[in-house]
């Protein structure tokens, strides 16, 4: 589909001055005409995309993602990118010999760890994504949630209870936060200035304390605040799968809730699905969980009928 167009117009064809065959030309024309209704539908709309997982660690996938974002902007769509960086944080912590542990899937973040988180997310990873998008013809600008008080956060409270306990135990996991509010004016300023915002999920508290926040949750809250057309979460699996390994898509919020109740959605996929579900229930038109290991996954999801992941919406499919 749309990927054929991108492959057909590679540098190899241009550098070698190769002529397109009739078959290749027809494929390109077909893809362009099939994508046109989607481009017309989403022009002027805002799409919030969480970039993470394998797509961040592969140079080829980084450039694929960057070209997707640049093309979206060129056809009049407003992409807003939120990125993670867990593996990069873990790697630097190990080099610095700073011990780290996880509770309920969240990294315990003391002051030393928070310094590393800010260094990796706010500087290294953020600027690398900005540079890659700019190198591919875009106009990206990197910010953290601390810039302009974009993400106001508060400490995340985590509890644990075992059968022998009469009351849940409150666990202190340090400077791990949750989104309290989003300063939309910062995003509106960047989008209206024709920039592509690249956001590191670091929030700030009332007293200036920095908080490490899950990137999926930040993307969901930003999508809700902007009443985005789409929330797109890139992950390392093909999408939400049933018990037979088949990817489920075209799901309503009621269907998703039943899958959760039936235990089909569980484990590591549950927080991601819950984030996607919450966004749709709060007014985002649709949420998508797509396979970031697939080149040009974002374009394939929004510009083709088939897509490459799971679609959740309140609208009739």
Judge whether 125 lies within some domain.
yes
pLDDT in tens, 138-155: 999 999 999 999 999 999
pLDDT in tens, 7-57: 444 444 444 455 667 776 666 666 677 788 888 999 999 999 999 876 787
Judge whether 266 lies within some domain.
yes
Judge whether 22 lies within some domain.
no
Judge whether 124 lies within some domain.
yes
Question: pTM for the complete prediction?
Answer: 0.86
Judge whether 182 lies within some domain.
yes
3-class secondary structure, 111: helix
Judge whether 36 lies within some domain.
no
* Residue 126: CATH number of its domain: 3.40.1160.10
Q: How confident is the model at residue 250 (pLDDT cuts 50, 70, 90)?
A: confident
Exposure string of 260-276, with b = 16+ CB inside 10 Å and e = fewer, is: beeeebeeebeebbbbb
> What is the tally of structural domains in the chain?
1
The domain in which residue 226 lies consists of 2-6+41-313
Judge whether 19 lies within some domain.
no
Estimate the share of the chain in helix, then strand, then coil, as percent rounded to the nearest 5. 45, 25, 30
Residues constituting the chain: 317
User: Bridge partners of 233?
Assistant: 50, 289
Residue identified by tokens 């953020």 is 126
- How many Å apart are CA 127 and CA 132, to the nearest integer? 8
């Amino acid at each position: 589909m749309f990927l054929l167009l991108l492959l057909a117009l590679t540098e190899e064809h241009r550098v070698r001055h190769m002529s397109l065959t009739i078959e290749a030309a027809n494929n390109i024309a077909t893809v362009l005409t099939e994508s046109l209704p989607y481009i017309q539908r989403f022009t002027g709309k805002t799409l919030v995309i969480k970039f993470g997982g394998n797509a961040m660690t592969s140079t080829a996938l980084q450039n694929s993602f960057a070209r997707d974002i640049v093309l979206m902007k060129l056809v009049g769509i407003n992409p807003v990118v939120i990125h993670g960086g867990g593996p990069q944080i873990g790697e630097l912590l190990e080099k610095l010999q700073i011990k780290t542990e996880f509770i309920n899937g969240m990294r315990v973040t003391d002051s030393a760890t928070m310094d590393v988180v800010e260094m990796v997310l706010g500087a290294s990873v953020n600027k690398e994504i900005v540079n890659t998008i700019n190198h591919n013809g875009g106009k990206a600008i990197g910010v953290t949630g601390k810039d302009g008080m974009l993400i106001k956060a508060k400490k995340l409270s985590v509890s644990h209870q075992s059968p022998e306990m009469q009351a849940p135990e409150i666990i202190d996991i340090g400077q791990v936060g949750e989104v309290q509010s989003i300063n939309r004016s910062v995003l509106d300023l960047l989008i209206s200035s024709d920039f592509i915002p690249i956001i590191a999920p670091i929030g700030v508290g009332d007293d200036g304390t920095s908080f490490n926040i899950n990137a999926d949750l930040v993307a969901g809250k930003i999508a809700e605040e902007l009443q985005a057309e789409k929330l797109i979460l890139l992950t390392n699996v093909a999408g939400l799968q049933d018990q037979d390994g088949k990817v489920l898509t075209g799901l309503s919020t009621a269907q998703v809730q039943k899958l959760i109740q039936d235990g089909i959605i569980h484990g590591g996929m549950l927080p991601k699905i819950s984030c996607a579900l919450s966004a749709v229930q709060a007014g985002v038109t649709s949420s998508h969980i797509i396979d970031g290991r697939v080149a040009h996954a974002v374009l394939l999801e929004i510009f083709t009928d088939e897509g490459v992941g799971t679609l959740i919406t309140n609208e009739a499919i």
